[in-house]
Amino acid sequence: MLAAGAPDLKLSAVVMTGVVIAGLGVLNDVTITQASAVWELHESSPTMGPGRLFSRAMRIGRDHIASTVYTIAFAMAGAALPVLLLIYLYKQPLADMLQSEAISEEIVRTLIGSIGLVLAVPLTTAIGVAVTRHAGPRARRPAGRRRARGGRSGLDDGDW
């Protein structure tokens, strides 16, 4: 329908745009979670040096990267499931399957997305460490964790 309604539109460009938008969503999720981890580590030990803060945050970041890369791989495998079933039904050898356009395209997408995530986490961590270092302790708390004036929100820092 797109090809009929917009004959000058390249469908490969539409697909690539969709991949980029989906990748930005994943990137947003990982970087916000990583920045939050840096803030929490800083709040738990405001006197921690920047090197140690970065190192501890990166240990958390490695888990973020692994989890997200696996999520992307499973999502791509799920999207390619019909192609995998067809290859299985036609008894294709593994080497031929991996060289097919549909499968190799999914592998490349997964690798590109993973490279972006692997680069984003250390960059986000470094920026978070720099910001917390200049902001000082308790400069900013996430909105959902602020205490009401004159009372308790039900939980205090020790409850987290």
Using the predicted structure, report yes or no on whether residue 70 has a pLDDT greater than 80: yes
**Close Cβ partners of 126 (under 8 Å, ≥ 6 residues apart):** 54
Degrees (nearest 5) of the Cα angle 106, 107, 109?
A: 65
Q: pLDDT higher for 65 or 50? A: 50
Q: Quote the pLDDT of residue 136.
A: 58
| Model pLDDT for residues 129-158, shown as the tens digit of each residue | 999 988 755 555 555 554 444 444 444 444
Percent of the chain with pLDDT over 70: 84
**Close Cβ partners of 91 (under 8 Å, ≥ 6 residues apart):** none
- The three-class DSSP label of residue 138 is coil
Q: Quote the pLDDT of residue 150.
A: 46
Mean pLDDT of the chain: 77
Q: Provide mean pLDDT across the span 69-93.
A: 77
Q: Provide mean pLDDT across the span 108-127.
A: 85
Any idea how long the chain is? 160
Tell me how far apart the terminal alpha carbons of the chain are, to the nearest angstrom. Answer: 52
Q: Provide mean pLDDT across the span 62-67.
A: 87
Q: Is-contact 87 97, C-beta < 8 A?
A: yes
Q: pLDDT higher for 65 or 130? A: 130
pTM of the model: 0.63
Q: pLDDT higher for 53 or 92? A: 53
Q: Quote the pLDDT of residue 134.
A: 80
| Model pLDDT for residues 10-44, shown as the tens digit of each residue | 777 777 777 778 778 888 888 999 999 999 999 99
Query: What token pair was written down for 118?
Result: 């692997």
Q: Quote the pLDDT of residue 117.
A: 80
Beta strands in the chain, from DSSP E residues, in sequence order? none
